[in-house]
Structure 1
Amino acid sequence: MWRLLREFRRSQLLDKVSVVQAGHVVLRQAAAPVDPRAIASEEIQAIVGKMHKILDDTEHHGLSAPQIGVALQIMIVQITARQLKDLGKRTVSALQMTELRRRVFINPKLSIIDSSVVIEREGCLSVFGHSACVPRAREVCVSGLDENGEQVQLRARGWAARIVQHEIDHLQGLLFVDKMKSRTFANDHWIDRR
């Protein structure tokens, strides 16, 4: 972990980092756990800060540290009121979406609460402009540490559960294309949206 932090700092990526795309080696690595004593460090706080900024800029539902080129177990999930409004009531209802305040998880652990499979279309900032239908568990629980080093836990159902599982996959070196129904993979430009 310390080597990764030194490389991150030495590369001065903080000012110019963006979301890495499929094909980047870090997206296919298992992310290393963060030493809890390092959470308050300038480096970890900078990584979390950069992730917050990217989510502010993109208004996406989640992001993991590997997506900004850092192979550490850090992820952020959210469903904002604005996202819900933009999608409309019909889509929000169909996808079982409810507002989820932004949450940071460091060294997250996932447990499945309801293993019923739900298949929905999802995309990813690291496979930009493409999406596919992906099977996911209906309800999960994720626990870990937040950006202050405090224990946190989230029980997530519906779309929130999908976001959590998607980000956990990133920490294991997986992309949604590894789990998708291959015949549903599409360039988003050509998809009729609900």
Structure 2
Amino acid sequence: MTLADQVGELLAGPRPLPIVQAGHPVLRRVAEPWTGQLPGPLLGELIEAMRETMHAAPGVGLAAPQVGLSLALAVLEDTWVAGAIAEARERTALPFRVLVNPRYEPVGERRVAFFEGCLSVAGYQAVTPRWHAVRLTGQDETGAALDEVLTGWPARIVQHETDHLNGRLYLDGAELRSLVAPSEATRYLGDPTPARAATELGFPLP
């Protein structure tokens, strides 16, 4: 089955799109680079369906492998809410955007750690060190080149979604002693940093 056939079959099904969970092989494959495999209208419909699915989840990013497609494509959007937690995380508004064949590299050596979750590891959270700043390259959905530096929470989102396209889940780099089950999801929810969790659960912070 061609990629176009897979996308057509997926889009003919229910909305929001089903999100595959950890254990599905597509999440552990390096995604196929975008080389124009889909006609423009079909690509546009897929992007809109992924955006709808991201909003419904709700989440701040969604990569094509998370809906079962091995394609180097992701959508991002974070409707930032101001407050102490957002300030501590350097979480700022991230308007809707599409990443095609994205890559990132660290800018500087600073790493920061916060609780992170994933729509494909439903309900669980773990503290995950990430680069504070990254240089993002790739294209958008029109083929326009991307080359920019992001910091704080937007940089974390870019790293998380780009990792999906390389067969990585956030748990691969997380402090596993920090893993929080769905039943404990609110325990550290109000903390601006994971410092208390580090003390109580016994894991290091960068």
Post-superposition Cα deviations, 1:115-160, rounded to whole Å, max 9, x if no partner, equal: 3111111000000100100111010121222122222344211111
Q: Which residue is equivalent to 1:29?
A: 29
What code does the residue aligned with 2:130 have? Answer: R
Matching residue of 1:193? 189
Q: What are the within-5 Å matches in structure 2 for residues 44-83 of structure 1?
A: 44-81=43-80
Candidates 153, 168, 171, aligned match of 1:174: 168
Aligned residues: 185
Equivalence for 2:88? 94
Partner of 2:150: 156
Q: Give the direction of change, closer, same or farther, for the CA distance of 1:40–1:7 in structure 2 (3 Å limit).
A: closer
- TM-score using structure 2 length: 0.83
- For 2:46, the aligned partner's letter is I
Q: Give the secondary structure class of the aligned counterpart of 1:76.
A: strand
Segments of structure 2 that go 5 or more residues without pairing to the other structure are: 191-206
Deviation at 1:76, TM superposition (A): 1.5
Taking every aligned residue pair, what percent have the same amino acid on both sides?
A: 33
TM-score, normalised relative to structure 1: 0.88
Change (3 A) 1:103 1:154: farther
When the two chains are superposed, the root-mean-square deviation of aligned CA atoms in Å is 1.8
1:38: Cα distance to partner?
4.1
Q: Tell me, what secondary structure is at the counterpart of 1:126?
A: coil
Partner in structure 2 of residue 128 of structure 1: 122
5+ residue gaps, structure 1, are none
Say which SS state the counterpart of residue 101 (structure 1) adopts: strand
Cα separation, 2, equivalents of 1:52 and 1:161:
19
Range 133-142 or range 44-53, more displaced: 44-53
